[in-house]
A = this chain, B = another copy of it.
Amino acid sequence: MAEQQTFNVAIVGATGAVGQKIKQILEDKNFPVKQLKLLSSARSAGKEETFHGEKIIVEEAAPESFEDVDIALFSAGGSISKKLAPEAVKRGAVVVDNTSAYRMDKDVPLVVPEVNSEDIASHQGIIANPNCSTIQMVAALKPLKDAFGIGKIIVSTYQAVSGAGNEAVDELYEQSRDYLEGKEVTAEVLPVKGDKKHFPIAFNALPQIDVFEDNGFTFEEMKMINETKKIMHDDALNVAATCVRLPFAVSHAESVYIELDQEDLSVEDFRKTLKEADGVVLQDNPQEQEYPTPQSAQGKEEVFVGRIRKDLDNPKGFHLWVVSDNLLKGAAWNTVQIAQTLVERDWLKK
């Protein structure tokens, strides 16, 4: 047997919630790593981490960090990606970027491997990982779109605080403790760290994820709308989103309404198609109260679908409930899947 090719891999944002998950998955999946570099801000540099039992010291990310790196997995915020991803590419690395920095760039493939892995082939050095709430929705809808055609999507999300980082999770738990003890609750992180006002998330719901655009939609909502069209290769697809932050740590849920191109389909047609879909798990038996929840999906790689119903008025309309771990399929796992595809299909060369 030929010796397996191995690669120098860097994780940028290695101490963050998603960076930690990426390292774990590279280990769990036995990704062919020759050497792993863990990169972070100056503040986290010097921390000691382990990978396959070996110690690795976290280093401050700099342009020179990417010398000899084959694959760089970025998850440290858009401004870091904008600054350092081109430096990594210049030094010969292929970047899988988990921020919104390059997603809508026409030269950058935006990829959910179960949906459009072929797009990776045309990369110019950077491949973008979509927004977490987009990934799980397109993973669930693509097999349905291929089978039945989809013309319209209206989604309302139920999103976990970990999408806003570890700080937001700490804030949720601290506020929850204070609330239960009858203490005053203070808000400093959510809905958006850098925005003007902050509101409590504990025992509440905030209809704002990311900042507002001029059209009244939030940036998160526009990400879902624009990224879905790009990944699906369908600019004519109608997509609308309302994104809401909720008081749980992990997994996003989505109430999705779709209009198909054809009538006369049944819930069973949907179930059959989703049962055979890659990366999707059907959990849909109302009589046995079987449906996915944020807690039931936590820690799992797949996208879970339940509550499938035919609209009572529109014969082309269907409703479904889509849940997935936002840190895994929504971020770390999808990132590693892209890296796996790069390696397996020999697409690392530009």
Contact = CB atoms under 8 A, between A and B. Distances in A.
Interface of A: 152, 154, 156, 158, 173, 176-177, 180, 191, 195-197, 199-200, 203-208, 212, 215-217, 225, 238-240, 242, 244, 246-249, 253, 255, 257, 267, 286-289, 291, 293-295, 306-314, 317, 319, 321
Given A156-B255, A246-B246, A247-B247, A309 B217 contact: yes
A257 B207 contact: no
B238 A313 contact: yes
A255 B255 CA distance: 10
A206 B293 contact: yes
A203 B267 CA distance: 30
Contacts of A206: 293
B180 A216 contact: no
A205 B291 contact: no
A307 B158 contact: no
A295 B242 CA distance: 19
Contacts of A253: 205, 207, 244
Nearest to A153: B313
Nearest to A159: B205
A248 B203 contact: yes
A260 to B, nearest CB: 15
A294 B205 contact: yes
Nearest to A216: B309
B204 A293 contact: yes
Contact of A207 (B242, B249, B321): B321
11 contacts: A176-B180, A203-B294, A204-B294, A205-B246, A206-B293, A207-B255, A215-B310, A215-B312, A216-B286, A216-B310, A240-B311
A246 B205 CA distance: 9
**Residue among A203, A204, A306 with the most chain B CB within 10 A?**
A203
Contacts of A176: 176, 180
A176 B242 CA distance: 27
Nearest to A250: B203
B212 A242 contact: no
A229 B191 CA distance: 35
Interface centre among A191, A257, A293 (most CB of B within 10 A): A293
Contact of A255 (B173, B195, B200, B244): B244
